[in-house]
Structure 1
């Protein structure tokens, strides 16, 4: 009985050992020595390298047989001639030549102010009166003396015409009369300075000096008058635009505070270049029928300084630059029915820019298919596949 049991155990062990090949990893791990295990590992690494080499050879063959593999997907657009209106953007302030702080021409007490703030006035209208300090009385006396001189002169003249009296008497009376008239005229001019009149039609914006105050000629501000009809924007333009920004050029004016955009023109371009900042001044007229535009408002100007009727325009994002400073783009040529073509690098010469658009002056022909998306990842002469529908038609 013991003999039979021993045979069964030996048979089971034989079956177990025979189930694992002596060259398998499992067998080597269970029964092999350290040296055997290392030897097995070296064999497996060598087999792995051989398999990788075979896979690589298969991939290379696949590339030669299947031209659609590893071809970059790109989008394109066609360069078509368009009208290019370039604008120069500047900042400016609204102003008017009819904005004035009135000062007196005569020293004295401001006896009367005849207008109020917000009142509309006409040119020449009396706004205020300054005490003349007794000039009116002096004028009355001078007029009496002038009348006497006139009477004396007229009598001497009649006598002289009748050959009565001496010539010197006639000339003296004439001289006295003329000097008296001149004195009256001068005093009238002095008295006229005591009346403050509106230099132009407009609105009294502010009364600065109150009635009863002592004022000094040319120094004391009396009131401010403004006319909102003849408004304009004054700004400075860099000298490099002196030949493009000229009188009559179209301007789009935006006033952010009012939310208004006005199409107008340059009414004056300065002939003097400021040596301090190398700029020249321009004036842009502003229609203001509703009187909504006020002096000193900020404005943004867009001046049309360049126009091309047949410009090739492309996004600046597709333009690259090489180490020599040359600009270039990629165009697609030899495109087949499946949209697969060749990317070719083309050196271009560019002109003016407007926001994200740039004008191409040389290097591109009308209708050229330019790579847009994917332009940064292609190489010159590389096969590419166009996936946008427009260029596949």
Structure 2
């Protein structure tokens, strides 16, 4: 301020000098007379002091007349109701019920493998064959005995129907025939176990055991089959969300590795709480027409657990807290035509948060103007001037 006054004073002095006095300072300098120079300097200092005193009088008058001098500038926005969808963020893994490592039901040599890796197969299609160890020959012999027993039974039945022969002969023939039928069925069931079939339609993901190997029932892994059509994500949800995460809730699924996001719904909720971590399982259906989503892929989930159609959202940064632990914000009231108003402290009650925004449940009316920039520096009842009125509170 001192430098500004000095420059201003010199400017006035130079301006006030007439053409005749314009070179007075120069003449004093040219005289090379010390007394002359000192005298000219003293004259200028006296004139500077007079101007300074006049400027001070002007500043005092300005401070009295200028009512906007101490009014702080703030920005504000209008509280406008909007739809608020709160989401619970979780992590889950992709899985499918149609993923299986096929093992044999019969001990023996794997004589034939009829499929290749990557091949699509239908449910019930024959995938491989295990040597039956002579069961086919036993079946042929047993079939002959069954046919003989059937013929004997049919003849004995005709005689019995005509009241010829004894009942015991009829019953023996019947029993023998039924025993032979059961024996044939048992051998056929054993032979059917030597044929490996597809449990569901899908793709052969891997051939694990090669043709000619000895396999053990229930232990040897023959091949892996997978169907990518019926995929879903399984996630564990904390038990406190039991009433909010329900079947049919909207879910945004993000696959970071694929750079892909899809929208789907919760399709199933577990009825059991895991006692070890106090969570319950939720299944989220995954449409996979492109079949680029694979089992065990990690996904981030955003499940809609709360919706308010008429929510008032404000930035968390404008909220302060008093000694009693109450939250408050400042609203502008009684605004005049110069965009000036009174900063008024308002106690609020807040709800859920989403990012930098928080839901206000009580305390703020629709279309109220809330102070944003400058909210932490104003005081209750202070006059403020709104610099910018921003309807987008998060801008």
Q: TM-score range by the shorter chain?
A: 0.7 to 0.9
Partner of 1:9: none
Partner of 1:193: 193
Larger Rg: 1
Partner of 1:241: 241
Partner of 2:19: none
In 2: Cα distance, 1:193 partner to 1:285 partner: 35
Contact 2:106 2:130 in 1 (8 A): yes
Partner of 2:379: 379
Q: CA offsets, 1:152-209, max 9 Å, x none?
A: 1111111111111111111111011111111111111111001100001111000011
**Equivalence map 1:297-376=2 (5 Å):** 297-376=297-376
Residues 256 and 390 of structure 1: CA distance in aligned 2, closer, same or farther (over 3 Å): closer
Shift of 1:255: 1.6
In 1: Cα distance, 2:390 partner to 2:173 partner: 104
Partner of 1:182: 182
Partner of 2:26: none
Partner of 2:102: 102
Once the two structures are overlaid, the 10-residue window that deviates more, 314-323 or 200-209, is: 314-323
Partner of 2:287: 287
Please state if 1:259 is matched with 2:259: yes
Partner of 1:75: 75
In 1: Cα distance, 2:390 partner to 2:98 partner: 59
Once the two structures are overlaid, the 10-residue window that deviates more, 117-126 or 65-74, is: 65-74
Q: CA offsets, 1:332-359, max 9 Å, x none?
A: 1122222222211111111111111111
In 2: Cα distance, 1:256 partner to 1:382 partner: 50
In 1: Cα distance, 2:195 partner to 2:371 partner: 77
Residues 264 and 390 of structure 1: CA distance in aligned 2, closer, same or farther (over 3 Å): closer
Partner of 2:226: 226
Contact 2:75 2:390 in 1 (8 A): no
Shift of 1:362: 0.6
Partner of 2:164: 164
In 2: Cα distance, 1:112 partner to 1:63 partner: 103
In 1: Cα distance, 2:82 partner to 2:142 partner: 80
Q: Secondary structure at the match of 1:155?
A: helix
In 1: Cα distance, 2:325 partner to 2:173 partner: 93
Once the two structures are overlaid, the 10-residue window that deviates more, 289-298 or 96-105, is: 289-298
Shift of 1:325: 2.1
Contact 2:230 2:286 in 1 (8 A): yes
Moved over 4 A (4+): 61-65
Residues 173 and 331 of structure 1: CA distance in aligned 2, closer, same or farther (over 3 Å): same
Residues 161 and 390 of structure 1: CA distance in aligned 2, closer, same or farther (over 3 Å): closer
Shift of 1:123: 0.7
Structure 2: runs of 5+ lacking an equivalent: 1-34, 39-55
Once the two structures are overlaid, the 10-residue window that deviates more, 201-210 or 82-91, is: 82-91
In 2: Cα distance, 1:327 partner to 1:277 partner: 34
**TM value normalised by structure 2:** 0.81
Shift of 1:107: 1.3
RMSD: 2.0
Q: CA offsets, 1:95-138, max 9 Å, x none?
A: 11111110111111111111111111111111111111221122
Partner of 2:153: 153
Q: Secondary structure at the match of 2:185?
A: helix
Residues 243 and 257 of structure 1: CA distance in aligned 2, closer, same or farther (over 3 Å): same
In 2: Cα distance, 1:382 partner to 1:207 partner: 79
Partner of 1:84: 84
Structure 1: runs of 5+ lacking an equivalent: 1-15, 20-54
